[in-house]
A and B are shown apart, each in its own frame.
Chain A
Amino acid sequence: MNRLAVRKTLKLFIGGAFVRSESGRTVACELGGHVMQAARATRKDARDAVRAARAAWPGWCGRSAYNRGQIIYRLAEMMESRRAQLADGLRASGSSRVAAQREVDAAIDRAVFYAGWCDKIEQVLSTKNPVASPHFNVSSPEPTGVVAIIAPRLPALVPLVSTFLPVIAAGNSVVVLAGDADPQTAVNVAECVATADVPAGVVNLLTGCRAEVAPTLAGHMDVNALDLWLGDEAVACALHDAACTNLKRVRRHKEPDASFWFGPDAAGLAWIEPFVEIKTVWHPAGV
C-alpha cells in the first residue's frame, strides 16, 4: 500500500518554539525545480523574536563561558547526527552531492571551533592597562546584548552558522533573518538549535522578505547591534540610519563569494570582537 508522504511545514523559530507567522502568510521559494512555501515573518514576528531574545539574554550571558561552550559543542553534535538532513536540504536547493557534504562538514566544524572559543574570549580580549597612578586598571569584554543579523543569501548553511555562532559564543542572544534563497536549510539549522540545549530565545530564526523585516529590526530600540550582510549599498545605508536611533553597533558587509566562507578569514576572533563591549575597571592599589 502506498503511504502518503508527511511533508514538513516550514516555520519560524521564536523563543524556542516553531511557530507560523502571526499573519499566517507564507513566501514561495523555488528549490530544485519545485516550489516550497516558507513562513513569511512580519514586523510583529520580528518584535516577538526580539522580545524572546531579550528575555533569554540575562540567563545566557549569566552562564559560565565554559557552559556556553559545552552547549555550542552540543549543537555540533546535533548537526553531526543530522548530517544527512542538512545535506539533503542543500542538494534540494541545487548543490552537488560533494559540495553539499563539504558545506555540512564546514558548518559542523565551525560550531566546534566556536565552542572552543567561548571560554577563551575573555582571556584573549582582556587587558591589564598600565596607568600613571596607584591603580589596577583592567579591561574585560562583556556581551553587547541582543544582536540582529541579516544573514547572507548564499550558500545557505555555512554563512548562516558562521554569522550567528560567534555572536552567541560571546554571550549575546540573536535574531537572525535567514537569506531567502533556501529557507528549508534555515529551518534545519533551527531544528539542530532546538535540540541542542540552547536555552529558548537565545537563537531566533526568521524567514521571509528582507525589505519587510530588516527595517523593523534596524529601528527596534531593544536591539543593541546589527550585523548586515547586504549587497545593496542603498538599503544597507537606510538600515544603518535607522540603527542610529539607539546607537546600535552596526557591521556592514558586502555579500562575499561562496569560496570566502570556506577560507581562513571566515571564522576567528575578529568575528567575536565586534559584539562585545569592553568594560574598564579602576581599582586602588596599595602602596
Chain B
Amino acid sequence: MSVDAVGLEERAAVLATRSIKKQSKIVGLRLAIACMDLTTLEGKDTPQRVRQLCRKAVTPDIDDPDLPSVAAVCVYPTLVREAKDALAGTQVKVASVATAFPSGLAPAHVKLQEAKEAVAAGADEIDMVIDRGAFLAGRYREVANEIAAIKDATRPALLKVILETGELGTYDNVRRAAWLAMEAGADFIKTSTGKIHPAATLPVALAMLEAARDFEQCGGRRVGVKVAGGIRTAKQALQYLVVVKETMGDEYLSPATFRIGASALLNDVLMQLTKERSGVYQSEDYFTKD
C-alpha cells in the first residue's frame, strides 16, 4: 500500500495547529513526562552522569513531588547495570540501545550477543536498530530475520525497533519498514536514533501510527510507537500527543503504547509546568542540566 505523502503532511500540519492551553496543557505535559524515555547516548557518558539522570527520571522536579516519574531511562549497554542499581525499587524501566547502535553495521552474532548481554545486565527494554543498508537494498527477509532473532534472544524484554526514518527516504519505505518490524515481533516501532538529521517529524510519526493502527485492525497485535530525536520543546511534545490521540484514540496515550525519547525535552516541559504554576516565564538557569 502506498502512502499519500501530501495528505499525510497536510493532516500532520493541521493537527499541529491545535491550541492547548491552561488545564489541558498541564494534563498533556504530565502525560508527556509519564511517556518519556529519558535518554543519554553520548560517547562521554559516565556512570555518575547516568546516576544523576536516574534521580531526575524518578523525581523530575523536586519542587513538584506530585509529578509522575518518566517511563524509562535509555542508555548504552555498558551503563545498564549502573542505571538498574540507581532505579532499584522504582517503577522506572531501564532501556538499552543495542545491535551496534546507531549504525547497526556489525556482524549478526556480535549484535545478538550485545543485546543478550544488555538484558543479562538488567535491561527491561531493548532499543535495536535495523540495518538500513540491507533494508534499502531490498533484503527485507534478512532484516526481518534479524529482528525475530533479537526478539527471541532478549525475551521477556520489551523490543523497540528503530527504523531510522531519516535514512529511509520515503513514507512508503517508512510504512514498509514499520510493517516488517511489527510482523517480525517488535513490541514498539521507533522513529530514529537521534544521531541522524532529520530525526522524528510529525508526518513520519503519523505514518507509523497509521501503520500500527492498520496492523492491529488486520488481526495483528497492538504495537507501540516511540518518537525520538529532535523533540526539544513542550509544544512539540503536545503536538505528538495530539497526533497519537487523533490516530489511535485515548487508550493509546499511555507509556505501555506510546513513548517519547528525549533528553532536553524534560527541562522544557518542567519550565512550562512551572510557568503554569507560578505565572511567570522561566529560565534554564534554574533547572538542572542533567
A residues bordering B, Cβ < 8 Å? Answer: 47, 50, 54, 216, 219-222, 242, 245-246
Q: Which residue of B lies closest to A218 (CB)?
A: B280
B283 at the interface (CB under 8 A from A): yes
Nearest residue (CB) in A for B275 is A221
User: In the bound complex, do residue A221 and residue B279 qualify as a contact, i.e. CB atoms below 8 Å apart?
Assistant: no
- Which residues of B232-290 have CB atoms within 8 Å of chain A's CB atoms? 278-286
Q: Is the CB of B283 within 8 A of A216?
A: no
Separation of A50 and B281 alpha carbons in the complex (Å): 10
Q: How far is the CA of A244 from the CA of B48 in the complex (A)?
A: 35
Q: How far is the CB of B12 from chain A (nearest CB, A)?
A: 22
Residues in A with CB closer than 8 Å to B285 are 221-222
Contact B282 A222 (CB under 8 A): yes
* Interchain CA distance A246-B282 in the complex, whole Å: 10
Q: How far is the CA of A47 from the CA of B278 in the complex (A)?
A: 15
> Is there contact, CB below 8 Å, between A47 and B281?
yes
Residues in B with CB closer than 8 Å to A219 are 279-281
- Give me 9 other A-B pairs in contact (C-beta within 8 A), A216-B280, A220-B280 excluded: A47-B281, A50-B281, A219-B279, A219-B280, A220-B283, A221-B283, A242-B280, A246-B283, A246-B286
Among the interface residues B279, B280, B282, B285, which one has the most CB atoms of the partner chain A within 10 A?
B280
Q: Report how far A220 CA is from B282 CA in the complex, Å.
A: 6
- Measured in the bound complex, the distance between the Cα atoms of B272 and A221 in whole Å is 12
Main secondary structure, interface of B, reads loop
Contacts of A50 in B (CB 8 A): 281
Q: When the two chains form their complex, are residues B283 and A222 in contact, meaning their CB atoms are under 8 A apart?
A: yes
B282 to chain A, nearest CB (A): 5
- CB pairs A–B below 8 angstroms (5 shown): A47-B281, A54-B283, A221-B285, A245-B278, A245-B280
Residues of A within 8 A of B284 (CB): 222
Expressed in whole angstroms, the minimum distance between the Cβ of B267 and any Cβ of chain A is: 13
The 4 closest A-B pairs by CB, nearest first: A222-B283, A219-B280, A221-B283, A220-B281
Taking the closest CB of chain B, its distance from the CB of A16, in whole angstroms, is 21
Distance (whole angstroms) from the CB of A6 to the closest CB of chain B: 32
Q: Which residues of B contact A222 (CB under 8 A)?
A: 281-285
| Nearest-Cβ distance from residue B236 to partner chain A, whole angstroms | 15
Report the bound CA distance from A95 to B285 in whole Å.
45
Question: Which residue on chain A has the smallest CB distance to residue B282?
Answer: A221
**In the bound complex, what is the Cα–Cα distance between A221 and B285 (angstroms)?**
9
Complex: A221 Cα to B286 Cα, angstroms? 9
Q: Give the CA-CA distance A174 to B280 in the complex, in Å.
A: 19
Task: Give the chain A neighbours of B279 by CB distance below 8 A.
Answer: 219
Q: Complex formed: what's the CA distance from A35 to B281 in Å? A: 34
| A242 vs B281: C-alpha distance when bound (angstroms) | 12
Q: In angstroms, how far is the closest chain A Cβ from the Cβ of B277?
A: 12
Q: Tell me the nearest residue of chain B to A221, going by C-beta.
A: B283
User: Closest Cβ of chain A: how far from B45's Cβ, in Å?
Assistant: 25
A216, closest chain B residue (CB): B281
Give every chain B residue within 8 A of A220 (Cβ-Cβ).
280-281, 283
Compute how far the CA of A54 lies from the CA of B286 in the bound complex, rounded to whole angstroms: 14
Complex Cα distance, B283 from A220, in Å, reads: 8
Q: Which residues of B contact A54 (CB under 8 A)?
A: 283
Contacts of B278 in A (CB 8 A): 245
Closest Cβ neighbor of A50 among chain B residues: B281
Give the distance to chain B from A190, nearest Cβ to Cβ, in Å.
Answer: 23
Q: How far is the CB of B22 from chain A (nearest CB, A)?
A: 14
A217 to B, closest residue via Cβ: B281
- Within the complex, what minimum Cβ distance (angstroms) separates A147 from chain B? 14
Which residues from chain B contact A47 at a C-beta distance below 8 Å? 281
A54 and B282 CA atoms in complex are apart in Å by: 12
Whole-angstrom CA separation of A216 from B281 in the bound complex: 8
Q: Which of A47, A220, A222, A242 has the most CB of B within 10 A?
A: A222
* Distance A242 CA – B283 CA, assembled complex (angstroms): 15
Chain B residue at smallest Cβ distance from A219:
B280
Output the least CB separation between B286 and chain A (Å): 6
B279, B281, B285 — which one has the most chain A CB atoms within 10 A of its CB? B281
Q: Which residue of B lies closest to A51 (CB)?
A: B281
Closest to B271 in A: A221
CB-CB under 8 A from A245, the residues of chain B are: 278, 280
